[in-house]
Amino acid sequence: MLIIKGADVYAPEHLGICDVMVCGGKIEKVEREIPVCYKDCQVIDGSGMRLTPGIIDQHVHITGGGGEGSFHTQAPATQLSDFIKGGVTTVVGLLGTDGITRSVENLLAKVKALREEGMTAYCLTGSYGWPSVTITGDLKKDIVFISEILGLKLAISDHRAPNISTEELIRAASDVRVAGMVSGKPGMLTLHMGDDPRGLEPVFEALESTSIPIKTFRPTHVTRNWELYEQALRFAKMGGYIDITCDSGPYKEVAEGLRRAEKAEVDPTRITISSDGQGSWSEYDEAGNLLAIGVSSVAAVYRQIVDLVQNEGMEFEKVLKFGTLNPAEALELSNKGRICPGADGDLLLMKQEDLSLDTVISMGRIMMRNGEILVKGTYE
């Protein structure tokens, strides 16, 4: 049993100063004052801290991304401490460009390893390519029979994409939709969006010619260029979810994107942010030659939230939802992304004055305390 006392609770709605009790990995109580009635109850003093749900990062290359500049540019796999340092308690892993030397089998094995080490992890089948790489040979069976697999990854409108037809996109979305219905999962088709001028047009064509629910399609990297983002705002106003990749380096696409969404009167609950962690960012010239490559951090969502509050003047409660409640709703994980009785004990304590990360709790287990990582991966 664990009680966090006297923290300023953002659930993510601002509740003010409260105590939170965690038992058996679940939140048991959220009250103004919870008495410590058991001598073996662990107590954390949360005074001077903000208590929030753990971050949900739905786009991480947990087995490593990259490889677009030949074999030596493959990024390494993530480690448990990478997530803890970034306040991530739930992750969705996926493949990227390379569905050749990397496999869904290896991806699933890493998901299981992260679960064994103490955090919540899921993944997607497929990669950029089409037909999709799978475990069972059938994307529907992967989603239905493998509990950790929530949906499918695919790339469109990108020079690295398979350039599938609208009919093929419809077939993939239909298969994902049915598999999700059968298995009680979100049945989501995460779409890596590139810079090609068509952008989201294939998705709009699919929606116009079928009755596939818009929630099936999940475009990501939508601030890659502002023409694409205008399409993404239209998509969100139709009721879809859009995912914005966190800034890497001095760029400010996320802040600008959120301001444009507010100006366009887009429902903020339709927007999520993710890190693209351990995936590579890359720049190409007009001839398609690789100019630069680097690796994104899995701590990007936490850093983005802090930056938006401290440097962009945005409201903490509002910004927090983009990395907690909104992805929980999008992934249909009712036990995640919130602080309330029955929710999983995934919690963060941030210092009130500078939002530095002090404590990370995953499923009721303390992973970081006073800024020190207490639980590391098997080979760290």
Give me 339's structure tokens: 């602080």
**What are the distances in angstroms from CA 209 to CA 153, 169, 170, 182, 230?**
22, 12, 9, 23, 22
CATH for 266: 3.20.20.140
- Residue 202, preceding peptide bond in cis (omega within 30° of 0): no
Smallest CA-to-CA distance from 83 within 51, 44, 110, 47 is with 110
**What are the distances in angstroms from CA 44 to CA 5, 83, 126, 305?**
6, 22, 42, 24
- Tell whether 47 and 61 lie within a shared domain: no
Smallest CA-to-CA distance from 300 within 276, 329, 317 is with 276
Beta bridge partner(s), residue 43? 3
User: What range defines the domain where residue 289 resides?
Assistant: 55-330
- Pair type for strands 188-193 and 365-369: unpaired
Q: Return the CA Rg of the chain.
A: 20
- Tell whether 353 and 236 lie within a shared domain: no
Is residue 378 a part of any domain in this protein? no
- Tell whether 256 and 112 lie within a shared domain: yes
Q: What count of other Cβ atoms lies within 10 Å of the Cβ of residue 292?
A: 10
Beta bridge partner(s), residue 2? 22, 42
- Tell whether 117 and 242 lie within a shared domain: yes
What is the structure's pLDDT at 251?
67
Nearest-angstrom CA–CA distance, 163 and 56: 30
For the stretch 169-205, pLDDT in tens is: 999 999 999 999 999 999 999 999 999 999 999 999 9
**What are the distances in angstroms from CA 379 to CA 24, 113, 147, 168, 376?**
27, 11, 26, 42, 8
Is residue 379 a part of any domain in this protein? no
Q: Are 348 and 316 in contact (CB under 8 A)?
A: no
Kindly give the confidence (pLDDT) of every residue in the chain, 380 residues in length, as a single tens digit, with 9 standing for 90 and above: 999 999 999 999 999 999 999 999 999 999 999 999 877 899 999 999 999 999 999 999 999 988 777 888 888 899 999 999 999 999 999 999 889 999 999 999 999 999 999 999 999 999 999 999 999 999 999 999 999 999 999 999 998 888 899 999 999 999 999 999 999 999 999 999 999 999 999 999 999 999 999 999 999 999 999 999 999 999 999 999 999 999 876 668 999 999 999 999 999 999 999 999 998 777 778 887 878 777 889 999 999 999 999 999 999 999 999 999 999 999 999 999 999 999 999 999 999 999 999 999 999 999 999 999 999 999 99
- Tell whether 258 and 349 lie within a shared domain: no
Determine the residue type at 121. A
Which of 19, 276, 307, 346 is labelled catalytic? 276
Nearest-angstrom CA–CA distance, 355 and 378: 29
What is the structure's pLDDT at 18?
97
- Tell whether 256 and 343 lie within a shared domain: no
Q: H or E element: which one contains 24?
A: none
- Tell whether 193 and 83 lie within a shared domain: yes
Give me 139's structure tokens: 């994307």
Determine the residue type at 109. A
Q: What are the DSSP E strand ranges found in the chain? A: 2-10, 14-23, 26-31, 42-45, 49-53, 55-60, 88-93, 120-126, 149-156, 188-193, 217-220, 242-245, 271-274, 280-284, 290-295, 347-351, 357-362, 365-369, 372-373
What is the structure's pLDDT at 38?
78
- Tell whether 341 and 217 lie within a shared domain: no
Helix, strand, or coil (residue 81): helix
Q: What are the DSSP E strand ranges found in 127-274? A: 149-156, 188-193, 217-220, 242-245, 271-274
Is residue 380 a part of any domain in this protein? no
Total structural domains within the chain:
2
- Residue 268, preceding peptide bond in cis (omega within 30° of 0): no
How many helical (H) and strand (E) elements, i.e. helices and strands, does the chain have? 10, 19
Is residue 282 a part of any domain in this protein? yes
Per the annotation, the verdict on 247 as an active-site residue is no
Nearest-angstrom CA–CA distance, 174 and 369: 45
Beta bridge partner(s), residue 19? 31
- Tell whether 22 and 119 lie within a shared domain: no
